Structure 1
Amino acid sequence: MAASFDKPTLLQRIAPIFQGFDGPLALAVLLMAAAGLVTMYSVGFDHGTRFASHGRNMLLAAGVLFLVAQVPPQRLMALAVPLYTVGVLLLLAVFLFGIEKKGAQRWLNVGVVIQPSELMKIAMPLMLAWWFQRREGLLKPLDFVVAVVLLAVPAALILKQPDLGTTLLVLASGIFVIFFAGLSWKLIVPPVVIGVIGIVTLIAMEPQWCAPGVDWQVLHEYQRQRVCTLLDPSKDPLGKGFHIIQGMIAIGSGGVWGKGFMQGTQTHLEFIPERTTDFIYAAFSEEFGLMGTLALMAGFIFLVVRGLLIAVEAPTLFARLLAGAVTLNIFVYAFVNMGMVSGILPVVGVPLPFVSYGGTAMVTLGVGLGILMSIAKSKRLMQS
């Protein structure tokens, strides 16, 4: 008599796909996404379509996260060189044939309009992690020089567009990999000290540096104006200082507990510019106050800590470097956005992860979180 076998249920068939997923990381992502949707519903209510579009962007990012999580780290490593090469070629194409909008040449028409610099946010840490994996056990000072060159080429092309915000993010993603690979503190401390001295000098000499007609040479005029506006936004309260002043007013007016969901006067009376994108943190702080802000920060801290734990437990040097860089890049996004809205950093157009509206940034975030999930998954499957 032939043996009979029970037909597996749908749940049993799809269960292996989710095997090894990192539960705490998935929970953190879901909670942060929920916070983003709630905030967008309130601040985007007067716009009509922002909430639905934000939700679609999140679903797209979730799909990307799920797909990338299925790719093992070994496959990701094989994609490093092709992605980096394509990214640099596209940046060169932008320099030669790019579309110019509002004085910046950042986009390329390849049937659809794309922004190649976004690709480098993922391709850069992939490439440098691949490089240091290849040199594992054989690292010499020259290897770090090669890594700096690999980082400097796309960063210079992006800065030329000009796009200071994306340049800083690409530089950060690469510097994190180089740091985790074992860069000596002797090489890290001097630039940091020089930078601190430069900032203190700039603040002390603000009237001279920011006087009309002064040319900083290394920065474009709009970048110089952003730095000078940060130092003293009251010089042009209805012009270039308007964003920072209104953002600080909204944050301060929220108090400890906030004005309440959909009750933000600065937000809904349209005093906050770009309230669904770069300055959404000001609207969030106004409605949910200090306690809401602390909860949001706690969410980002948990996400970063979990990502760093995944990096520590990763099975290969490539996976450790990549997970560490991706995790700290999320921290940089959040820190820079909150800092610029609060008036402690220049306005550079960096979105707040999960909360700010934007399809490209959301998909890039989904890729980064998918990489983290893939690395966590590979570790769990190796242990099982």
Structure 2
Amino acid sequence: MSFLEYNVKSTPTGWRKILYLNWALALLLTSVASVGFLMLYSVAGGSFQPWAEAQIQRFILGFAVMLIVAMVPIWFWRNMSVLAYIVGIILLLWVEFFGVSGGGAQRWIDLGFMRLQPSEVAKITVVMMLAAYYDWLDLGKVSHPLYVAIPLLIIGLPVGLTFIQPDLGTSMLILMGGGSVMFMAGMHWLYFVSVIGLGVGAVSAVFASRGTSWQLLADYQYGRIDTFLDPSSDPLGDGYHITQSQIALGSGGWTGRGFMQGTQIQGDFLPESHTDFIFPTLAEEFGFVGGASLLLLYVLILVFCIVTALMARDRYASLMVIGVAVTFFLYFALNMAMVMGLAPVVGVPLPLVSYGGSAMLVLMAAFGLVQSAHVHRAR
């Protein structure tokens, strides 16, 4: 039997593909989402309304989306990568001109039954586009300046459109997720050193522009930076969120105060406890053990993604899975660092746990791509 015949015959077909899914990964995703359901129930004071019930419905829909995406051969998603990227850019442009505003930012498209946040879509479409690009590109050209400029443009366009919404946190995630694909594709390390140097220069420019006519960030974003550097400087203003978050994290101790017994949460002292600051909710009620357990689930998801990437027999699948894994890692790492005071508050949700529709559905679709790479790896 030839190699090609082996691949064709060993690739599952039809509904048999269900048997080839990475069900351990699906179980881990369900476990993490269940933690979110539990916390949203607690934040609402022991009620499935208004958050837990809607989140459960979204996860069920997202799980169905993951299964549908997983059933489609990975080569199809490779061929659709350019179209997916273009659609993502069009959605970002639509937000710029016709988007719905909220909290001082214009980030959403109102679909009636839900609000779609195109920047969430862009996180994955950028990874897909870059993986397809490097799958097409000859390995010897990866570090050639001309062929480095193209992925920089692919990343830079959605990053710029997201940054002006303004949404600094998501634009950073898109940038770092795209950069990880470039790194794994084999781009020379000197390029990354140059980027780090430019990053230092950009940070210096951000601080230098404060209070000038060419100020680069919004006032509230500078406030978040001030809060990160010294939360006690404005404990009742910009520093209120992080101060209350650290109190909740510390008061949980090793085993926590108990389910629905958190004083910071039940006393409504911690704002946004159902979205960006849901991790302190878990830490106060279940302590270090609860927080570490959730982190372990996240790490196991990453391990399964990395194994899938290593087992993939084509470059697109491998790079795409790595890109999804890094984006997922950045999600929870940045959120946890943010609520602990180790990073500025940039509005990044805790994946599969924080309340939200766009992030949940897009992330489950992304894991559908990972499952597709796993199911069709024998091709």
Question: TM over 0.5, yes or no?
Answer: yes
1:160 and 2:161 aligned: no
C-alpha distance in 2, partners of 1:362/1:162? 21
State the partner residue of 1:340.
338
C-alpha distance in 2, partners of 1:109/1:294? 36
1:151 and 2:145 aligned: no
State the partner residue of 1:77.
78
Unpaired segments ≥5 residues, structure 1: 1-12, 203-208
Offset at residue 192 of structure 1 (A): 3.3
In the alignment, which of 179, 190, 193 is matched to residue 186 of structure 1? Answer: 190
Offset at residue 196 of structure 1 (A): 6.8
Find the residue that maps to 1:19 and give its secondary structure: helix
Find the residue that maps to 2:108 and give its secondary structure: strand
In the alignment, which of 106, 110, 129 is matched to residue 127 of structure 1? Answer: 129
The number of residue pairs the alignment matches comes to 362
Percent of aligned pairs with the same amino acid: 38
1:16 and 2:10 aligned: no
Offset at residue 141 of structure 1 (A): 3.0
Range with greater deviation from structure 2 (179-188 or 250-259) = 179-188
Find the residue that maps to 1:226 and give its secondary structure: helix
C-alpha distance in 2, partners of 1:281/1:173? 23
Range with greater deviation from structure 2 (71-80 or 92-101) = 92-101
- Higher Rg: 1
Contact kept? 1:45, 1:51, Cα under 8 Å: no
C-alpha distance in 2, partners of 1:348/1:39? 22
Offset at residue 23 of structure 1 (A): 3.2
RMSD: 2.5
- Summarize the Cα distance change of 1:103–1:353 in structure 2 as closer, same or farther, 3 Å threshold: closer
1:281-317 deviation per Cα after TM superposition (whole angstroms, max 9, x unaligned):
0110001111111111111111112111111111111
Task: For 1:1-384, list aligned pairs within 5 A.
Answer: 16-45=16-45, 48-108=49-109, 114-139=116-141, 140-192=144-196, 195=199, 213=211, 217-379=215-377, 381-382=378-379
C-alpha distance in 1, partners of 2:272/2:112? 29
Contact kept? 2:169, 2:347, Cα under 8 Å: yes
Please, what TM-score do these two structures have when normalized by structure 1?
0.87
1:52-84 deviation per Cα after TM superposition (whole angstroms, max 9, x unaligned):
111111111111111111111101011111111
Range with greater deviation from structure 2 (328-337 or 214-223) = 214-223
Find the residue that maps to 1:315 and give its secondary structure: coil
Please, what TM-score do these two structures have when normalized by structure 2?
0.88
Amino acid paired to 1:23? W
Find the residue that maps to 1:239 and give its secondary structure: coil
C-alpha distance in 2, partners of 1:355/1:115? 17
Offset at residue 194 of structure 1 (A): 6.5
